[in-house]
Amino acid sequence: MTTNVTLRKPRPTDGHAVNRLIALCPPLDTNSTYCNLLQCSHFADTSVCAELNGALVGFVSGYRLPAQPDTLFIWQVAVGEAARGQGLARTMVDHLIQRPAEASLRWLHTTITNDNDASWALFRRIAAAHDTDITHSVGFEEKLHFDGRHATEMLVQVGPFQN
């Protein structure tokens, strides 16, 4: 199936479709359509859309950390139900890190809750495929950062990548 998927940079007109896709991908946190519009415009160079027969079936949002320009923070990875289980999430992340603009990339960062097995597996597969390390520590703590309303997010670091 992933051979029929087209990967491309997001466009501002994708914001609403991204918002709908993320809403269908629990446990991902939903954002406002405006936030997704900004991801599709301001962060298009570090994000990717996946289309199948003209429909959005996948989205990865990311951005370079301002204080660590060799680090790409992956904000969300969403894969629609019709495209799950076929390696699309890893294909999209690999597509991102192989873009010429990412030649100086040394690290991937993301945050994952302890119970999100799919995300843990994805980033472990990415680390293994690139023959690099994966480590984690507390990123945002449930009580301190989320007032007890969201599970602790572990900061996951993959790298260093060889340029």
Contact 28, 59 (CB under 8 A): no
**pLDDT, position 100:** 82
CA distances to 26, 73, 77, 116, 157 from 120, rounded to whole Å, are 15, 15, 12, 6, 11
Q: Under CATH, to which class is 2-159 assigned? A: alpha beta
Q: What is the largest CA-CA distance in the chain?
A: 44
Candidates 36, 106, 114; CA nearest to 78 is 36
**Which residues, in sequence order, are CB contacts of 87 under 8 Å at separation 6+?**
2
140 bridge partner residues: 153
pLDDT single digits (tens) 63-103: 999 999 999 999 999 999 989 999 999 999 999 999 988 88
Candidates 73, 120, 65, 119; CA nearest to 96 is 73
pLDDT single digits (tens) 46-67: 999 999 999 999 999 999 999 9
**pLDDT, position 27:** 87
Q: Where are the domains of the chain?
A: 2-159
What is this structure's pTM?
0.93
Q: What is the DSSP string of 76-141?
A: EEEE-GGGTTSSHHHHHHHHHHTSGGGTT--EEEEEEETT-HHHHHHHHHHHHHTT-EEEEEEEE-
